[in-house]
């Protein structure tokens, strides 16, 4: 006879979306388990730059709709959590920076001023006088303007740790899932979810609701649906990591000509205490067809052009490819907000941004309320001896010595 576990909710996928939701559902008194086939955060989440966006990119697109409003609310939700007074206590998560800067090179200063006339109202943006510039921009060779944006930057590794720690008894490592472990009836209802863990353990999961927050892994379910046409998309990035001895912690977007910042830099500490500059933005979007070597050359050139007074000759460079996984959009554009779709006894969800995890969890909880899911007593005896997934290591510690 099959071994069976019973729970109100089974979450599949332990990135930010799954882990945030796990905490919220447990607080709400539901029995819940989270199943992770890799490492916690090891998909997109531990590669995130940790910026809690407040809508800067939306303003760059000239958007002021409900999506822009939704993201504008995220920084205050996160700030409460980081101060220990929000829906989840994240007071042990280090804030790397209380603001993200926005800087223009000399030639683009007037463009920034124009766009800020609109943004200033929405995003608590402040134009800085030269003596308030971050140290790196106080150099005489810097000719641009610097603004401060109300965008907190957090330590993503610590965030994942804090979301995992109190829930280790309900998080389980499973072997990578194959299509035949999921069985659907003719109406796309999930009638059987079988999970495996080596060696030779197989358990049947019986849940009232199955919530798929598996990032790119959500595609597995979509393939099996007969009636629903939910589709996923991937947007590839080629990120760059720079390890150096320069004492300039920088959290800043460099304004380019388009809507995506030319460069977005966040600063982190490697395991040996050295500084990491983590580079995203346009360089990561445009570099997807470049080899690692070519992308490194582009990054070196950008840094030389933007910071001619700094010497990166002793810096170590690495790059890696990663896909953003989301619900499909016309022309493959970035979705405006988080997304969930209820399909029979499943919910398939993507946060779109780390910053949207609280909003996604709130929307999923509303969906469960609408379903009248009453808490029951879980029976997890068959999972007692199951392994717990590890927390993903910061990507720079994986790629650089
Ligand atoms: C380079 C980069 C930088 C970013 N920077 C920021 C930022 O600064 N700010 C911001 O707000 N957003 C940022 N984002 C976006 C943000 O990281 C993602 O939107 C978010 O992490 C997605 O979380 P997730 O939980 O949906 O997916 P993931 O983090 O990908 O987690 C999915 C998990 O599901 C697991 N899984 C997959 N298939 C299965 C299966 N069949 N069974 C069990 N488990 C499974 C995976 O192993 C993984 O752990 C960035 C994204 C990237 C790629």
Average pLDDT, rounded, for the chain: 92
Mean pLDDT of 260-283: 96
Alpha helices in 196-249, H assignment, sequence order: 219-224
The residues near 114 (Cβ < 8 Å, ≥ 6 apart) are none
> How many CA atoms within 13 Å lie on the side-chain side of 394?
21
- For ligand 1, say whether the CB of 361 is within 6 Å of any of its atoms: no
- For ligand 1, say whether the CB of 38 is within 6 Å of any of its atoms: yes
- For ligand 1, say whether the CB of 213 is within 6 Å of any of its atoms: yes
Q: What percent of the chain has pLDDT over 70?
A: 92
174-193: burial string, b at 16+ Cβ within 10 Å, e else: beebeeebbebeeebebeeb
Q: Any idea which residue has 């109300």 for tokens?
A: 150
133, 136, 140, 144: CA torsion to nearest 10:
-60
CB 327 within 8 A of CB 213: no
The pTM of the full predicted model, rounded to 2 decimals, is: 0.95
Choose one of 10, 19, 41, 44 to mutate for the ligand 1 pocket test, by most ligand atoms within 8 angstroms of C-beta: 44
pLDDT at position 14: 98
Asked if the model's pLDDT at residue 125 lies above 90, the reply is no
Atom 2 in ligand 1: residue holding the nearest Cα: 48
Q: Is the peptide bond before 59 cis (omega within 30 degrees of 0)?
A: no
- For ligand 1, say whether the CB of 358 is within 6 Å of any of its atoms: no
- For ligand 1, say whether the CB of 14 is within 6 Å of any of its atoms: yes
- For ligand 1, say whether the CB of 319 is within 6 Å of any of its atoms: no
Q: Which has more confidence, 334 or 205?
A: 205
pLDDT at position 73: 83
Choose one of 195, 354, 395 to mutate for the ligand 1 pocket test, by most ligand atoms within 8 angstroms of C-beta: 354
Asked if the model's pLDDT at residue 124 lies above 50, the reply is yes
Q: Which has more confidence, 91 or 151?
A: 91
pLDDT at position 373: 92
Q: Which has more confidence, 41 or 126?
A: 41
Asked if the model's pLDDT at residue 121 lies above 60, the reply is no
CATH number for the segment(s) 4-46+159-231+329-393: 3.50.50.60
Quick check: helix, strand or coil at residue 250? coil
Query: Residue 324's beta-bridge partner residues?
Result: 235
Distance separating alpha carbons of residues 116 and 130, to the nearest angstrom: 18
Distance separating alpha carbons of residues 273 and 381, to the nearest angstrom: 43
Query: Structure tokens of 246?
Result: 């320069």
Count of residues for the chain? 401
- For ligand 1, say whether the CB of 249 is within 6 Å of any of its atoms: no
- Ranking 122-131, 193-202, 257-266, 313-322 by mean pLDDT, the lowest is 122-131
- For ligand 1, say whether the CB of 11 is within 6 Å of any of its atoms: no
Query: Structure tokens of 23?
Result: 């905490």
Asked if the model's pLDDT at residue 35 lies above 60, the reply is yes
Asked if the model's pLDDT at residue 401 lies above 90, the reply is no
Asked if the model's pLDDT at residue 110 lies above 60, the reply is no
Burial class (CB in 10 A: 0-12, 13-18, 19+), 27: exposed
Q: Which has more confidence, 65 or 345?
A: 345
Q: Which has more confidence, 348 or 122?
A: 348
> In ligand 1, which atom is closest to the CA atom of 18?
25
> What does the domain layout of the chain look like in residue ranges?
4-46+159-231+329-393
Separate counts of helices (H) and strands (E) for the chain = 10, 18
Distance from Cα 25 to the centre of ligand 1, integer Å = 19
- The phi, psi pair for 199, rounded to 5°, reads -95, 125
- For ligand 1, say whether the CB of 43 is within 6 Å of any of its atoms: yes
Distance from Cα 88 to the centre of ligand 1, integer Å = 19
- Ranking 20-24, 147-151, 249-253, 296-300 by mean pLDDT, the lowest is 147-151
Q: Which has more confidence, 122 or 224?
A: 224
Would you give the distance in Å from CA 262 to the centre of its chain?
20
Distance from Cα 361 to the centre of ligand 1, integer Å = 15
Nearest Cα to Cα of residue 36 among 179, 211, 176 = 176
Atom 47 in ligand 1: residue holding the nearest Cα: 38
CB 213 within 8 A of CB 18: yes
Distance from Cα 215 to the centre of ligand 1, integer Å = 6
Q: What is the pLDDT of residues 49-95, one digit of tens each?
A: 999 987 665 665 556 666 677 788 888 999 999 999 999 999 999 99
Distance from Cα 16 to the centre of ligand 1, integer Å = 7
Query: Structure tokens of 338?
Result: 């988080």
pLDDT at position 118: 56
């Amino acid at each position: 006879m099959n071994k069976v576990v019973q729970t109100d909710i089974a979450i599949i996928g332990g990135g930010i979306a799954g882990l945030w939701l796990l905490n919220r559902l447990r607080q709400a008194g539901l029995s819940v388990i989270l199943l992770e086939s890799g490492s916690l955060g090891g998909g997109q989440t531990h590669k995130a730059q940790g910026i809690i966006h407040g809508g800067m990119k939306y303003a760059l697109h000239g958007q002021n709709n409900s999506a822009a409003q939704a993201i504008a609310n995220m920084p205050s939700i996160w700030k409460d959590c980081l101060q220990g007074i929000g829906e989840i206590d994240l007071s042990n998560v280090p804030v790397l920076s209380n603001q993200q800067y926005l800087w223009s090179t000399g030639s683009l200063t007037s463009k920034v001023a124009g766009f800020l006339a609109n943004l200033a109202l929405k995003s608590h943006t402040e134009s800085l006088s030269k003596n308030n510039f971050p140290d790196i921009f106080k150099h005489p060779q810097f000719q641009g303007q610097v603004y401060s944006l109300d965008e907190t930057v957090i330590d993503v590794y610590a965030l994942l740790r804090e979301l995992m720690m109190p829930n280790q008894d309900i998080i389980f490592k499973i072997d990578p899932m194959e299509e035949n472990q999921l069985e659907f009836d003719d109406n796309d209802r999930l009638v059987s979810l079988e999970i495996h863990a080596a060696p030779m353990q197989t358990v049947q999961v019986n849940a009232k609701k199955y919530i798929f927050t598996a990032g790119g892994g959500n595609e597995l379910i979509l393939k099996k649906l007969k009636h629903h046409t939910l589709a996923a998309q991937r947007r590839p990035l080629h990120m760059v990591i720079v390890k150096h001895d320069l004492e300039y912690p920088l959290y800043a977007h460099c304004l380019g000509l388009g809507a995506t910042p030319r460069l977005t830099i966040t600063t982190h500490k490697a395991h040996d205490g050295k500084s990491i500059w983590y580079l995203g933005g346009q360089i990561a979007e445009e570099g997807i067809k470049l080899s690692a070597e070519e992308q490194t050359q582009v990054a070196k050139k950008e840094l030389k052009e933007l910071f001619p007074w700094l010497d990166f000759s002793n810096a170590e460079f690495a790059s890696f490819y990663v896909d953003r996984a989301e619900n499909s959009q016309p022309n493959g554009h970035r979705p405006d907000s988080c997304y969930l779709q209820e399909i029979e006894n499943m919910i398939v969800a993507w946060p779109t941004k780390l910053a949207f995890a609280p909003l996604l969890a709130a929307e999923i909880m509303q969906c469960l309320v609408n379903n009248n899911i009453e808490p029951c007593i879980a029976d997890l005896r068959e999972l007692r001896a199951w392994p717990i997934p590890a927390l993903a290591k910061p990507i720079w510690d994986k790629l650089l010595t």
